[in-house]
Amino acid sequence: MADSQAYNKKDQELALGNDELICAHLGDEYEKFLGAVIPPLFQNSLHVHPSVEEMWNPTPGRFVYARVANPTTDIFERKVAALERGEKAVAFASGMGAITASILAAVSCGGHFIGVEGMYGPTRTFVTDFFPRIGVTATFITGTDLEELKAAILPNTQCIYLESPSSVALRMQDIRAITAIAKEYNIATVIDNSWASPIYQKPLTMGVDMVVHTVSKYLGGHSDIVAGISCGSAEWMEKVAKNREIYGAMMGPFESWLAIRGMRTLPIRLKASMAAGLRVATFLEEHPMVERVIYPGLPSHPDYTIGQKQLTGYGSLMSFIPKGSIEEVKAFANRLNWFKLGVSWGGFESLITVSRYEPTPEEQERRGVYPKMVRIYVGLEDTDALIADLDQSLKQIKL
């Protein structure tokens, strides 16, 4: 990989830790880009060389081919690496591209993997369906019981995979305690940090080796791209970048350009998300037609104290269980005006999904998922209007 991520002096200063300035200005490099206030979109697949000598031995920092590195993608990677306090970041064509390439940098044939029960569905499918084909075994843990984790460690355990808060169930893991155990046994750790975003949680500073994100959600922020990113030490990222080069799931230049634009507003979007999320969660918890709300920012959340130790804020994706039958819950979702029925989250628009999955009592206990669970993403629309919308439809539920 071209050593294109060498920070310039201004980047280094910003990378010291002002998230707002990193999002707004890291990578601007006006002198390099003719004074353009927005870094340009390098929509090209290759770069040409001035001589055969240069072609054979490119000067560090030279770009060659866009499956390996691209100047626009490079700026996006530097921004996320600085936000996560990592040495490097490697961007992908999707969150799943980043997740699979990062896990495969840590596991190999004959190895063993430990992952949390609540991991994102397709990540779980990768573990259950793909691992047997490459000779890797796996154990799922709740992630909230350190003794259970210790008992799951085998001599050939290579990777512990976390997602905190997890998908749908929003369970949290004590990141510092788990990475301390992993280091004792020389096991690599990977965490999906999509829910909190790098604004509200920085797992690399808590001992995690690799942090992965979907960029399709909060980082992109406008529901107009699918992308992903992994970050960590230069050593880990070299392995991840090698996987990207071979698997070929490189983030495209236009997606990178849009992600840079999305990141300029990431800190203020997340401030708005946190304020709206807390208001909506509190409203739901007090509503007579709601059985239970699962939101990391509410003291009623089973892992609230873990969250308080490692999150500096909360996103606006939450789950709840309305009262009434599944038919009534479906009708509740169908009646909403502002919450659109759709997967994904992290954009400007409010969304809702209704689970048709009927978890067994054991799955309910271990994964924290329940029948007729509803997941909502509170978007950036007027919060009063969103609450009024939820209220009008909840009130119509018949018991």
Residues interacting with ligand PLP, by CB under 6 A? 94-96, 120, 167, 192, 194, 214, 216-217, 226, 228
- Burial of 242: CB neighbours in 10 Å, binned 0-12, 13-18, 19+: middle
210-214 and 88-92 as β-strands: parallel, antiparallel, unpaired?
unpaired
159: CB partners within 8 A, 6+ apart? 103, 106, 107, 111, 113, 114, 187, 188, 189, 190
CB of 124 to ligand PLP, least distance (A): 11
Distances, alpha carbon 20 to alpha carbons 14, 212, 266, in Å: 9, 21, 8
The residue at minimum Cβ distance from ligand PLP is 95
Nearer to ligand PLP, 195 or 257 (CB): 195
Q: How far is the CB of 93 from ligand PLP (least distance, A)?
A: 8
Q: Which is nearer to ligand PLP, 11 or 255 (CB)?
A: 255
For the CB of residue 249, give the shortest distance to ligand PLP in the complex, in Å.
10
CB of 58 to ligand PLP, least distance (A): 31
Taking Cα atoms as reference points, which of 364, 84, 25, 351 lies closest to residue 219?
84
> Residue 341 and residue 322: Cα distance in Å, rounded?
16
At closest approach, how far in Å is the CB of 302 from ligand PLP? Answer: 19
Q: How far is the CB of 342 from ligand PLP (least distance, A)?
A: 12
Sheet holding 112-116, edge to edge: 88-92, 228-232, 210-214, 188-192, 157-163, 112-116, 137-141
CB count in 10 Å sphere of residue 52: 8
Nearer to ligand PLP, 259 or 390 (CB): 259
Closest CB to ligand PLP among residues 99, 141: 99
Cβ proximity to ligand PLP, 226 vs 270, nearer residue: 226
Shortest CB 242 distance to ligand PLP, Å:
20
17/121 with CB nearer ligand PLP: 121
For CA atoms 138, 139, 142, 147, the dihedral sign is negative
Q: What phi and psi values does residue 215 have, to the nearest 5 degrees?
A: -90, -10
The H helix count followed by the E strand count for the chain is: 17, 12
Question: Which CB atom, from 30 or from 254, has the smaller least distance to ligand PLP?
Answer: 254
Task: Please state the closest distance from residue 167 (CB atom) to ligand PLP, in A.
Answer: 5
**In contact, 203 and 190? CB cutoff 8 Å:** no
Q: Are strands 290-294 and 340-341 parallel, antiparallel or unpaired?
A: unpaired
Q: Which CB atom, from 12 or from 128, has the smaller least distance to ligand PLP?
A: 128
What is the torsional sign of CA 29, 31, 33, 34?
Answer: positive
CA distances from 19 to 116, 135, 260 (A): 29, 41, 14
